[in-house]
Structure 1
Amino acid sequence: MFYPESQVRVWLYNRPTDMRKSYDGLSALVRNKLEEDPLSGQLFVFINRKQTQCKVLYFDRSGYCIWSKRLEQGQFHAHAGEAHKKRLEWTDLKLILEGIDTRSVQQYKRYKHQQSGYTTEA
């Protein structure tokens, strides 16, 4: 399923995860460790100790889905610091999945349209 980039939230779990976990195990991690609702439709990213495997758990309208990726060479470069979870932008997730180290990427401030609370009348 395609997600609109601006509407989906992405959370990175910053602890090594056993990649043998599937739907129930990962949703339990979301509920207990990340303290988020796994049924919310948000994306939850898990990476193993060697940083060679990644799983993304989300819930669509009919059930849980898991995206999984295993690298043949290299590692995923996700740096969340000391926190158990880190909020990622959709772009950050795409960079991590492509193998780009997000610490070396320089991000510039962009204009973001603020929604106003008024309407214009003719």
Structure 2
Amino acid sequence: MEFSIRNCYLRPGFTDLRNGMNGLMRVAMSEMELDPLGGDLFLFCGRDRHTVKMLWWSGDGFWLLQKRLNNLTFAWPKSGLEALEISETQLSMLLQGIDFWRSHPVLLAEKTC
């Protein structure tokens, strides 16, 4: 089985994670205005920001994945946007609990003497 994800979309704000596949699919279609059957990965975060659910259509069925952080919370945007597209690198950072929204490159000053 090949895992080929086209794009990764995050739903800002909080989602009721009691929703299963069908409920999250409805959120993707109605609130994010995206097609959940297109091969994109959809991310949803609960109110406590400890849990993220991911929904992905593999071509023959849906995958529903869940990750819960024990000692951290997910950095999650509260924007009023319906969907935010994030990169594979940003997804990796997000799932590790890294707040890439506020990260910035480290600038090294040259030593002058």
Q: TM-score, normalised by structure 1?
A: 0.78
CA shift digits 1:54-107 (9 cap, x unpaired): 011010021010110111111001336331211100111110000101133226
Question: 1:98 matched to which residue of 2?
Answer: 96
5+ unaligned residues in a row in structure 1: which ranges? 108-122
Tell me the matched-pair count. 106
Question: 2:109 matched to which residue of 1?
Answer: none
Question: 1:12 matched to which residue of 2?
Answer: 10
Question: 1:46 matched to which residue of 2?
Answer: 44
Q: TM-score, normalised by structure 2?
A: 0.84
Q: How does 1:45-64 map to 2 (within 5 A)?
A: 45-64=43-62
Question: 2:111 matched to which residue of 1?
Answer: none
* Distance in 1 of aligned mates of 2:45 and 2:64: 13
1:26 aligns with 2:20: no
Instruction: Give the residue type in structure 1 aligned to 2:14.
Output: P
Q: Report SS of the residue matched to 1:69.
A: strand
Identity percentage over the alignment?
28
5+ unaligned residues in a row in structure 2: which ranges? 106-113
Q: Which stretches of structure 1, 4 residues or more, deviate above 2 A after TM superposition?
A: 1-4, 78-82, 103-107
Instruction: Give the residue type in structure 2 aligned to 1:42.
Output: D
